[in-house]
């Protein structure tokens, strides 16, 4: 069975500070990994994805994530947070072995203080 | 923009009434999905479709049914709505070539009183 754990329910960060959101996954084969962002009242927007190759992937809005197979992790980072980054962030895992279905973590809410 | 619309965007209904939510896409993608989003649970898959009249259950399918008579439309029906089905419902599609990558619609907020 596939699953995702996001250990942090809520993170508060100061504007301009760095941000790291944790994601741990369980998947029996080669995983495809995603980070989505959801602003209040909005749908989900894809931030970045990992399919294969370079384990450090770059996404939109200055975000990056690093795939670590040995730790079953796919943590999201941003060097300097902007007030507009306040949102909820979801990590997801899926792949061919499960008919391309995605499993999502419970999400991490990010609050940005001035 | 993946060309996904959902209707209605908001609905309030009473326990025991039937409710149908519609997802419409303009890109003729084969795979479509219905999720529900609840605090503390993230998104959970209700049903999905891999073609016209081809559907399958997700992890939280009890109390829901789906239909897909045309490529562009995927309907989610609550036969007899219950308060536990109060949620935000999202439709998603997968793009050809990268079937695991999904794009989401704007969501429908459903309240069952």
Tell me the mean pLDDT in the region A80-104.
90
Taking CA atoms, A31 is separated from A44, A72, A101, B20, in Å, by: 20, 10, 11, 34
pLDDT at B1 over 70: no
Token pair listed for A60: 């939109």
Are B107 and A100 an interchain contact pair (Cβ–Cβ within 8 Å)?
Answer: no
Residue count of chain B, please give it. 113
- The 10s digit of each residue's pLDDT in B11-57 is 999 999 999 999 999 988 889 999 999 988 999 999 999 899 999 99
Element (H, E) at A88: strand A87-94
Taking CA atoms, A36 is separated from A33, A98, B65, in Å, by: 10, 20, 27
Tell me the mean pLDDT in the region B81-101.
88
- The 10s digit of each residue's pLDDT in A1-23 is 889 999 999 999 999 999 999 99
Query: How far apart are the C-alpha atoms of B74 and B105, rounded to whole Å?
Result: 12
pLDDT-based confidence at residue A41 (cuts at 50, 70, 90): confident
- The 10s digit of each residue's pLDDT in B59-82 is 999 999 999 999 999 999 999 999
- Taken in order B34, A99, A47, B59, is the CA torsion positive or negative? positive
Are A43 and B41 an interchain contact pair (Cβ–Cβ within 8 Å)?
Answer: no
Element (H, E) at A21: strand A19-21
pLDDT given at position B99: 65
Are A102 and B100 an interchain contact pair (Cβ–Cβ within 8 Å)?
Answer: yes
Tell me which chain B residues have a C-beta less than 8 angstroms from the C-beta of A92.
Answer: 43
pLDDT-based confidence at residue A67 (cuts at 50, 70, 90): very high
Task: Please list, residue by residue across B82-91, b when 16 or more beta carbons sit within 10 angstroms of its beta carbon and e when fewer do.
Answer: eeebbbbbbb
Query: How far apart are the C-alpha atoms of B100 and B102, rounded to whole Å?
Result: 6
pLDDT-based confidence at residue A95 (cuts at 50, 70, 90): confident
Token pair listed for B105: 């619609």
pLDDT-based confidence at residue A96 (cuts at 50, 70, 90): confident
Chain A residues within 8 angstroms (CB to CB) of chain B:
4, 6, 9, 32, 34, 36, 42-46, 49, 51, 90, 92, 94-96, 99-107
pLDDT given at position B100: 74
pLDDT at B97 over 90: no
- Largest interatomic CA distance in chain B: 42
**CA of A53 vs chain B CAs: smallest distance (Å):** 15
- Taken in order B107, A108, B39, A95, is the CA torsion positive or negative? positive
Following DSSP, what letter does each residue of B32-74 receive, concatenated?
EEEEEEETTTEEEEEEEEEETTEEEE-TT-TTEEEEEEETTEE
């Amino acid at each position: 069975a596939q699953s995702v754990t996001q250990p942090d329910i809520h993170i508060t960060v100061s504007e301009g500070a760095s941000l790291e959101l944790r994601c741990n996954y369980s998947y029996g084969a080669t995983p495809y990994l995603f980070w989505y962002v959801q602003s209040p009242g909005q749908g989900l927007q894809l931030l970045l994805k990992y399919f294969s190759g370079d384990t450090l992937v770059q996404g939109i809005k200055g975000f990056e994530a690093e795939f670590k197979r040995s730790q079953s992790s796919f943590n999201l980072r941003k060097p300097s947070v902007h007030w507009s980054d306040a949102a909820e962030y979801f990590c997801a895992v899926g792949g061919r072995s499960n008919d391309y279905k995605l499993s999502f973590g419970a999400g991490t809410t990010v609050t940005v203080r001035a | 923009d993946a060309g996904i619309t959902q209707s209605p965007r908001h609905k309030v209904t009473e326990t025991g009434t039937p409710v149908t939510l519609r997802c419409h896409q303009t890109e003729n993608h084969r795979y479509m999905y219905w999720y529900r989003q609840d605090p503390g649970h993230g998104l959970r898959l209700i049903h999905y479709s891999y073609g016209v009249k081809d559907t399958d259950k997700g992890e939280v399918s009890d109390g829901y049914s789906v239909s897909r008579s045309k490529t562009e439309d995927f309907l989610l029906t609550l036969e007899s709505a219950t308060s536990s089905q109060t949620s935000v419902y999202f439709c998603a599609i997968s793009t050809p070539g990268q079937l695991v990558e999904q794009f989401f619609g704007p969501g429908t907020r459903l309240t069952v009183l």
